[in-house]
Chains A and B, each alone.
Chain A
Amino acid sequence: MTTNKIIGLAIIIGGYGLIWFLLLKSKNIIEIINKKELKNLDEIEDELDLKVGDN
């Protein structure tokens, strides 16, 4: 198997896996926000621990 093929397959499998990971994470966020009736930015960021640095 060539190096290109190995890197390519890693990108395909890793990329597809990342898409599914983001889907499941996002679905989870939607469910929590709607279940707990969270509303504004601070409330949701604190509850879901989404804050990055001081953003």
Chain B
Amino acid sequence: MAEETDKQPELSRDLTLFQVTMMGVGMMIGAGVFVATGIAIGVSGPGGVLIAFILNGLLAFFSSMTYAELASAIPKAGGGYTYINEAFGGIIGFMGGWLSWFGHAISGSLYAITFAKYSSLLLEGINFFEKFSLNQNLFMRVTAVIIALVFVFINYKGSSETGNTSVYITLGKLSVLGLIGVAGIRAAFLQPDNFSNFSPFLPKGWGKILVTMGFTYIAFEGYEVIAQAGEETVNPKKNIPKAIFYSLVIVVSIYVIIAFATIIGVETGEIAVWKWFEQEGTTGFANAVKHLLPYGGIMVSVAALLSSTSALNATTYSSTRVAYAMGKNGSLPKKISKISKNSKTPHIALLLSSIIIVLVAATLPVEDVAAGADIMFLLIFMFVNLAVFKIRKEQGNELNYGYLMPYFPFVPIVAIIMQFILSIRLFDLSIIAWVTSGIWIGLGLLMYFIFQDKDEAKVN
């Protein structure tokens, strides 16, 4: 059996720094930014959204330093799960993987449905459903399943194909976002009176900034996907930490410029900007961009389609790698870590992840489950920030680091406190999300004890 494992083909190591960086950017700039930016301005005001994006960026940078350190020293698939398992093992290690696997897979379902929603909106504009007497809801579900399967196939073809696909899609949406940003800066120069759009700066006070940080934090967590690629990246000790930092700085800059452009460009008449966005809700961003650019609405829809596909691509990849790592470590059956001889991808882990992605996309009310995934990611990040203490203490002089974070232990301590506060704040947004998370944790505990019993029975 050991021989069989030794002879197994390995994951191919062909992802470049650029590809991995784009995978991270692709994951972070999911379609959420097109929906969340408008809502965030409505919740915390024009100043609040900029402050929330910067503080989230800073908090994410703190966590990314932990990830970069651990990923450079332990460049294995599995990301956060691998580090939690390495530090704590046992039930905490297992739960880290269990939550991470489902968190990524269900995020994938959310992106598949987001793609289907935007496709449906575009087709609705040309009366597609009336013309062909189609059920729009059914169309959305079927589209979500089809797009999920397309990216399962791309992920099966190999990590380089996954990386290349991610690069093309991400560059496409970055172009659209870049245009919006340039149009916003142009508007700032040509219409300086529009700076009055930033008044009132914080119409609902400082408290709402935490709420905005809570529901937008997920858009800053690309470092988890990049850390998954440790086994498939060229020179991972150097490239993985760099990709983690570069992708985060790119994304924070884009978010801030886009939020600035949206606020400066919008024309709301007598209504205060934050009030206008509050009334517009999820369509606020797209309608604001219409004021900035000709065909702005269609461009935003196209960018949202590209964003949801690149995020789906990245989450399909990362959920598969977590399942693969869990199989490899023995947390789940070893068979799950088998690698296809043809494509050199973990095909069984991909199959299992795709079942979760497709099932959830086809059946469940994904929004609340996705909020549950938010909570899970925050819990995982907290444990990873704890893991860095234990790993430094117990293995610090055995590991071969490619990066070591400065200002230790201040950085992980701040990250742990802030992530705890944000996860609690999510309770205000969705109680169902916390209930769902509780059910997953319970299911995970059950799985752990089943597998543990089986292992003990084997030993006996």
Contacts and interface: CB of A to CB of B under 8 A. Distances in A.
Interface stretch (B34-42, B50-58, B357-365, B372-380): B50-58
Contact of A40 (B199, B401, B407): B401
Interface residues of A, number: 31
B406 A50 contact: yes
A48 B403 CA distance: 11
B241 A12 contact: no
A30 B71 CA distance: 13
Contact of A19 (B61, B398, B402, B403): B61
Given A11-B55, A16-B252, A41-B392, A34 B238 contact: yes
A19 B241 CA distance: 15
Given A18-B58, A30-B402, 13 more contacts: A4-B47, A5-B198, A5-B199, A8-B201, A12-B256, A19-B58, A26-B65, A26-B403, A26-B405, A29-B406, A34-B402, A40-B396, A42-B397
Contact of A39 (B201, B245, B401): B401
30 contacts: A5-B47, A5-B199, A8-B47, A8-B51, A11-B54, A11-B55, A12-B50, A12-B51, A12-B54, A16-B54, A16-B57, A18-B58, A19-B54, A19-B57, A22-B406, A23-B245, A26-B68, A26-B405, A27-B245, A33-B402, A33-B403, A34-B237, A34-B238, A39-B400, A41-B397, A41-B399, A42-B397, A50-B408, A52-B410, A55-B408
A26 B185 CA distance: 30
Interface residues of B, number: 41
Contacts of B399: 40-41
B249 A23 contact: yes
B202 interface: yes
Main secondary structure of the interface of B (DSSP, over half): helix
A26 B401 CA distance: 13
A41 B408 CA distance: 12
Main secondary structure of the interface of A (DSSP, over half): helix
Nearest to A48: B404
Contacts of A55: 408-409
B13 to A, nearest CB: 17
A40 B238 contact: no
Contacts of A19: 54, 57-58, 61, 248-249, 252
A49 to B, nearest CB: 9
Interface string A6-31: 00100110011011101101110110
Contacts of B392: 41
Contact of B404 (A16, A18, A50): A50
A40 B397 contact: yes
Contacts of B65: 22, 26
A29 B403 contact: yes
Interface string B203-245: 0000000000000000000000000000000000110011001
Given A19-B249, A22-B65, A33 B404 contact: yes
Nearest to B57: A19
Given A2-B201, A26-B241, A40 B398 contact: yes
Given A15-B55, A40-B397, A30 B242 contact: yes
B419 to A, nearest CB: 17
A30 B241 contact: yes
B5 to A, nearest CB: 28
Interface string B59-72: 00100010010001
Contacts of A44: 401, 404
Contacts of B256: 12, 16
Nearest to B206: A4
A40 B408 CA distance: 16
B409 A20 contact: no
Given A26-B65, A26-B245, A15 B57 contact: yes
